[in-house]
Structure 1
């Protein structure tokens, strides 16, 4: 089983360019046999608050069609983020696009301070992904700060926790420590994807990574730049590597 986190550098107010970058990284990941690829929080638009309504997606948005085609073409589950409007209410969402053409939506459950002025939280969209014996649950950024979120995921049988985040250089080390503790305490593997460049006019801390169930960080990306963090389960043990797009493992 091979999974990956895409560490991206979003372009503000340019959904088309950001989608093109998703396509590029999906193609790159497919060359390494990746079966599931997760992007950072609001990856398609970059992190936004005030501007979010103008770039919001709908659950069946046609702008996702190319991602749907690529999921089928490369037999890959793709998790990509965007603001999502449902019934006139705006959520921070992650689209889960499956190789069979089906898709699901996850919505952020625990909002960061200030986000409640622009977004609603929701517990109604919380899909389960099953892949090669792993039961996978999702989280978006501040979700990971609430232990109840992980406990609910593990309580439902999760063996792998996917976190799409936007953490600053000052906060990413704390996130690493938290995810390591979670992985060890709850015996769950964790894959985390963070931006590798500015978003919302703020710096991001990069360092996307993967932790095994012993809480060990198997692999970690650089603090900045675009990279793929690949984790592969071989004979029950996780191994990792970092790929610079169109480059070699580092």
Structure 2
């Protein structure tokens, strides 16, 4: 099994962001990736006041190419956008399966200020099963509440997927939380962060992977765009960074 965190640089243009997604998905396919995680609100960029004008709906036709790529490349794709469900707006993660299934995870714990524009998601039990691994999804401030990781552990999830937008000021605390969950709950942790600014804030980058003992196996040194590839071997997980600038 190979999983990947995409570290992307968001633009203030949905179409350009989607093109970046396509390019990185095609790159991931060259390495045989089975599941790919993008950062929080990766399709729209992190925006609050503009969220209603950037919102998506279930089965949104603008995401057809992501669906097609999931099927063509046999990759589960997790990508973020504001999503309208009935009458409420959520910070969502679209989960596209190669067999055509589409799930939406909604952020459960909002950052201060987000509650003005978004509704907290439900405490659901969404899991992604691939081979012998069970994945649970978290979006940014979800990782600040230990109850979220505890719920994932109670479902016997083996890999915790953290889709985030963390700045240089916050990334140390994010690392501390994720390493702590890996150690306490014996879960592997894959984290995907932006590699460039959004919402007027710099991003810290530093997308990373921790094994279920809490060891940081690999991470981006900082910002920039590319993939963190993580391979499961018979005894452990191995990882490498593929930067777009190196191609």
Task: Determine the C-alpha separation between the residues in 2 that align with 1:239 and 1:196.
Answer: 22
| Cα displacement (A) at 1:36 | 0.4
For residues 79-118 of structure 1, what are the structure 2 equivalents within 5 Å?
79-118=78-117
* 8 Å CA contact 2:125, 2:155 repeated in 1: no
Q: Secondary structure at the match of 1:168?
A: coil
Give, in whole Å, the separation in 2 of the partners of 1:144 and 1:37.
19
TM-score (normalised: structure 2): 0.98
Q: Is the 8 A contact 2:91 2:107 kept in 1?
A: yes
Name the structure 2 match of 1:132.
Answer: 131
Distance 1:126 1:41 in 2: 19
Q: What are the superposed Cα offsets for residues 14-57 of structure 1, whole Å, 9 maximum, x if unpaired?
A: 00000000000000011111100000000000000000100100
Is 1:23 the counterpart of 2:22? The answer is yes
Question: Whole-Å Cα distance in 1 between the matches of residues 61 and 45 of structure 2?
Answer: 19
Q: Counterpart in 1 of 2:153?
A: 154
Q: Where does residue 41 of structure 1 map in the other structure?
A: 40
Do structure 1's residue 75 and structure 2's residue 78 form an aligned pair?
no
Structure 1 gaps of 5+ residues are: none
Check conservation: 2:77, 2:95, Cα contact below 8 A.
Answer: yes
Partner of 1:239: 238
**C-alpha distance in 1 between matches for 2:133 and 2:230:** 14
**Deviations along 1:177-234, whole A, 9 cap, x unmatched?**
2211110111000000000100011111000000000100011013111020111111
The residue number in structure 2 matching 1:64 is: 63
Gaps of at least 5 residues in structure 2 are none
Deviates more, 1:177-186 or 1:73-82: 177-186
CA distance in 2, matches of 1:124, 1:209: 25
**What is the alpha-carbon distance in structure 1 between the residues aligned to residue 102 and residue 115 of structure 2?**
26
Could you tell me how far 1:10 is from its partner in structure 2?
0.3
Instruction: Supply the RMSD in Å over aligned alpha carbons.
Output: 1.1
- Distance, in Å, in 2 between the alignment partners of 1:56 and 1:49 is 11
Q: Quick check: 2:219–2:228 contact (8 Å CA) kept in 1?
A: yes
CA distance in 2 between partners of 1:62 and 1:217 (Å): 38
Does the aligned pair in 2 maintain the 1:28–1:246 contact within 8 Å?
A: no
**SS at 2:244's partner residue?**
coil
